[in-house]
Structure 1
C-alpha cells in the first residue's frame, strides 16, 4: 500500500487571510493563485501492517513534535474515510521550498501528502474531492492540486462541502514568470495561523479588507482571461498591501516585513518607472515574489540581484498540477 505524489507550491494573487471555521479550515474569502514550477514537494506514503505508529521523515530527518502531530492528524482523515483506523504509515518527503519563511511550503507539502495517501489507500478521488481533503491540512494547499491559475472558492456551507479549488486557466494559458526573492530563510516570529487568527479577531481594518475582495477577484479573473498583465499586476500588488495593512490594525499590531522587504518593494515599483512592468506580492513572511513577463527577465533579475539583502532568487514559470509516480 504505497503512493508517491509531487505537488508544486503556489503564490496567491488574491490572498487568503482568515478562517470562518478553524477546524475545517473554511476561509472568510475566496482566493486566487498561480502554481509555480520551481518550488515543489515530493512525498511517498507507505502503509505497513507491522508499524505501531506513523513515521514522518522530511529531507532525511525524522520529524517529531507539532509538525509530526499535524501529519498524523491529517492521515487520520484518510484512515477514517477508508475505514483503515489502526493502520500506520511511513511518510517520506523531500521539500524544494524554503520552509516557514513566507513560502507556501505547507501548500505543496499537504497537497503532495494528500495525493500520496489517496494513492496508497487506492481511494480514486476526483481532483475536486482531493482538493476538499487537502484544504483540511492547509488552506492554500487545496489550490496546489491544479496547475495554472486556480481559485479556492470560499463556499457558504457549514460542513465545507462547497469550499474547494477550481482551475481558472490551465498551465499553458499564459507564460508569466515569478521570481521568489529570498531575503531570509529563518522561521518567522508569528506563524500564519496565529497571525491570521489575531487579525480576524482584533484588526480594525479587517472588515474593509473583506469588502474589497469581490471586486479584486472579478478584476483579476478578467485580467487573466484577457492576458492583461498590467491589470493582473496592479490588482495583485494592491491586494497584497491591503492584506498586510490588516496586521498593522491588529491588537497587538505586528508585521511580517523587514526593512529589506520594504526596500525591495520600492525596487520593484522603480522598475515600472523605467517602463518595465513588474509587480510584487508577499505572503505571511518577509520574502517577496516578483511577477513579470519573460521578455523583461534579464533587466528584472539584474535589478533584483543588485538589491540589498537578497540571499537567493528562485525563478518559476507557471506550474503543473499534482502528479503521481
Structure 2
C-alpha cells in the first residue's frame, strides 16, 4: 500500500536592500556578507510536494510543464536534505510549483521558489524544523530563499567559517509602516547572465570586490537603526548606494558586464526626477534589468503614474510588505 506525505506552501519574493553578492562556500551557500531584505506581497510561489512510496524517482513540474533532467536534479538535491533528516533517503516526490513572478528575470523567483519548497517539505514530512533551522535548509537551494521564509524586513546572517547552522535568516522589523516598493518590469525574460555565474565572475575578477565586505558591514550598521526609526530617506539612500556599488563591481569585472538595459537607465532617471520634485523614491536593482523603487505606500500611486508616459500599465506593479511563508489550504 502506498505511503503518501503531501503539503502545499506559499512563499513571497524578497528584495535585498543590502545585497547578497558572493559565496565563501559554494556547496553550503554560505555568503561572503550578511544581507537585509524586504519581503513583498505582489510576487510569490505556490508549491505542492507529494512524497510517494510508489515513485521510482523525483518528478518536477514548473508552471504546468514537466521539467528536464537538469532542473529536476537540482530539486532532487534539495529534497535530499529533507529526506536525510527524515531518515527516508529513497522516498521520492512529485513537486508541482507555480511562480507568480517571472522566472529568472531578477525578480527573486528562486528565493520564493525554494522557500516554498522548504516549507512544504518540512510540513509534509512532519520534521517540525523551527524557522531558524529551516532557513539554513532553504539557503542551500537559493541563498536568498532563507529570507523569503519570513515577512517584513529580514536579516540573513553570514555566519562563521564553514559552520552551516551559523548562517541563518531572522525577522528584523515587521515593516508595518508607510512603505511600499514599485516594480518597473523592464524585461520578463530570463536574464542572460545567471546570478551565480555573475557573482563568481565578479568575485574573481573585479578589483572592487575586495572592498565589498566592509562596505556591506557599514551599510548594515547604518540601515538597521534607520529602519527602526521609520526613516525612509536614510533607508532609501543607503539601499540605493548599496545597489549601485554592487552593479559597479560587475561593470569593473573582466570582462565587464552589466544587467542593465537602456530602459533600466530611463526608469532610474524618472526616479531621480521624482526626488527633484520632493517625492522620496529610491532605486534598488538586483541581478536583472528590472528597477525597484522604495517609497511611501501613500505615494506609490503617484510614483506609478510617473512611469506611465514611458512604460505600460502592466510593467509597473506596486508591492507592499509581505507575510512570512505559510501553508496553503487544502482544496
Runs of 5+ unmatched residues, structure 1: none
Work out the CA distance in 2 between the residues paired with 1:153 and 1:134: 14
Match of 1:278 in 2: 281
Question: For each residue in 1:166-218, what CA deviation from the matched residue of structure 2 results, as whole angstroms up to 9, or x when unmatched?
Answer: 1111253x231111111111111110000000011111110122221111001
Question: For each residue in 1:127-154, what CA deviation from the matched residue of structure 2 results, as whole angstroms up to 9, or x when unmatched?
Answer: 0010000000000000011101000000
Pair 1:305 & 2:326 matched: no
Match of 1:43 in 2: 47
Pair 1:176 & 2:179 matched: yes
Pair 1:100 & 2:89 matched: no
Match of 1:240 in 2: 243
Work out the CA distance in 2 between the residues paired with 1:175 and 1:97: 24
Pair 1:122 & 2:133 matched: no
TM-score (norm 1): 0.97
Contact 2:184 2:267 survives alignment (8 Å) = no
Work out the CA distance in 1 between the residues paired with 2:103 and 2:139: 19
Structure 1's consecutive aligned runs of 4 or more residues displaced over 4 angstroms after TM superposition are 308-311
Aligned residue pairs total 324
> RMSD value over aligned CA atoms?
1.2
- 1:159 CA displacement: 2.4
Pair 1:185 & 2:188 matched: yes
Contact 1:177 1:316 survives alignment (8 Å) = yes
SS in structure 2 opposite 1:20? Answer: strand
Give the alignment of 1:18-33 within 5 angstroms: 18-33=22-37
Pair 1:159 & 2:172 matched: no
Match of 2:116 in 1: 112
Question: For each residue in 1:211-239, what CA deviation from the matched residue of structure 2 results, as whole angstroms up to 9, or x when unmatched?
Answer: 21111001110111000000000000000
Work out the CA distance in 2 between the residues paired with 1:305 and 1:289: 15
Question: For each residue in 1:75-98, what CA deviation from the matched residue of structure 2 results, as whole angstroms up to 9, or x when unmatched?
Answer: 011111111111100111111011
Question: For each residue in 1:56-80, what CA deviation from the matched residue of structure 2 results, as whole angstroms up to 9, or x when unmatched?
Answer: 1111111113322111110011111
- 1:309 CA displacement: 7.6
Runs of 5+ unmatched residues, structure 2: none
Match of 2:217 in 1: 214
Contact 1:27 1:154 survives alignment (8 Å) = yes
- 1:298 CA displacement: 2.7
Out of 273-282 and 179-188, give the one that drifted further: 179-188
Work out the CA distance in 2 between the residues paired with 1:4 and 1:175: 31
Work out the CA distance in 2 between the residues paired with 1:317 and 1:80: 37
Pair 1:251 & 2:266 matched: no
Match of 1:148 in 2: 152
